[in-house]
Amino acid sequence: MKKTLLTGGLATLLLLGACSSEEPEAAEESVEEESVEENSNEEKTEEANTEAETEESETVERDENSSEVKAMENGAFEIQMAKVEIKDTKILPPGEYSDTGKDRLVVFYDVTSKVTPEEAGETEVSPLMVWTATVEATQETPDTIQDLNVGSVPMDEEYDKYLDTQMSVIKKDKTVENVTVYELENRENPVILKATQGFGGQDLGQMEIDVTE
**Tens of pLDDT, residues 186-207:** 999 999 999 999 877 899 999 9
Per-residue pLDDT at 30 exceeds 80 = no
pTM: 0.68
Q: Are 161 and 177 in contact (CB under 8 A)?
A: yes
pLDDT in tens, 48-61: 555 544 443 333 33
Tell me how far apart the alpha carbons of residues 113 and 127 are, in angstroms, rounded to a whole number.
9
Among candidate residues 76, 163, 158, the one with its CA nearest the CA of residue 127:
163
Architecture of domain 69-209: Sandwich (2.60)
> Which helix (DSSP H) or strand (DSSP E) does residue 7 occupy?
helix 2-65
What's residue 21's pLDDT? 42
Within 10 Å of residue 41's Cβ, how many Cβ atoms?
10
Contact residues for 127 (Cβ-Cβ < 8 A; gap 6+): 109, 111, 162, 165, 166, 167, 168, 170, 176, 177, 178
Among candidate residues 19, 177, 168, 4, the one with its CA nearest the CA of residue 85:
177
pLDDT in tens, 73-132: 999 999 999 999 999 999 999 876 677 889 999 999 999 999 999 999 988 999 999 999
